Amino acid sequence: MEQQRGYSFENNIIIIARELTELDVFVKDFLNIIKEYTDYLVVSGFVSISTGRTRGTEDVDIIFPILNQNKFIKLFEAVIKIGFWCYQTDDSKEAYSYIKGFHSIRFARINQMFPNIEFIPFNCSKKAKFYEYSHPQKIKIDGFEFKIPPIEFEILYKEIILTGKKDFEDARHLREFFSDILKKESFIEYDKIIRGELK
């Protein structure tokens, strides 16, 4: 397909026409490890940044389905082994106590605070998160392929749930950047799902 406005859409994968940044490599290194142990979805600010919005960010939000303790410990130790550290604790069992209680934990490279990964557990009781996780959109930048929510879902989640200044600006960027492929029927469907989280 002919490239449009900095991206193309091929085999249901969004291909972004740019080279990797240091932030992309940071996320790539983290995902390369965790995907051996769990599925995931990259959400929020990094979605907009990865598609060309120029703004800084200190954290990258990644949601994942709640894991059992053994699998989480293996994941945690593998992440530490490649040069990350956890803000909350260096003990894998203590880290799991956060996850078990559905509290997020943060990882950054050793001797650094930023950027960091906010690693956010969820289960099927979180209906909006479970829906976006179950309907991932693949995106690829210079060979780095990862999963994000459907673009229409990400836009509405920022406009309806998050509602910060950066969120509205992110949503505006996504609406403009992907104007050629956004679907009105998807906005209608996702609006109901997301507003259900407010009830």
- The predicted pLDDT at position 56 comes to 75
Confidence of residue 154 (pLDDT cuts 50, 70, 90): very high
pLDDT for position 54: 82
pLDDT of amino acid 1: 41
What six digits make up the tokens of 189?
A: 């469907």
Confidence at residue 2, expressed as pLDDT on a 0 to 100 scale:
44
* Cα–Cα distance measured from residue 178 to residue 173, given in angstroms and rounded to the nearest whole number: 8
Between 197 and 113, name the one with better pLDDT: 113
Classify 106 as helix, strand or coil: strand
Phi and psi (nearest 5°) for 173? -60, -45
Provide mean pLDDT across the span 83-92.
Answer: 97
**Rg for the chain (alpha carbons), in Å?**
17
Looking at residue 43, its amino acid is: V
Q: What is the mean pLDDT of the chain?
A: 94
Q: Which residues are bridge partners to 122 per DSSP?
A: 65
Which residues have a Cβ under 8 Å from the Cβ of 167 and sit 6 or more positions away? 158, 159
Q: Would you say residue 4 has pLDDT above 70?
A: no
Query: Which pLDDT tens digit goes with each residue over 22-40?
Result: 999 999 999 999 999 999 9
Tell me the average pLDDT across 63-73.
97
Task: Count H helices and E strands in the chain, helices first.
Answer: 8, 9
pLDDT digits (tens, 9 = 90+) for 169-185: 999 999 999 999 999 99
* pLDDT at residue 5, as a whole number: 72
- What are the structural domains of the chain? 7-193 (3.30.460.40)
Q: Beta strand 41-43 with 105-109: parallel, antiparallel or unpaired?
A: unpaired
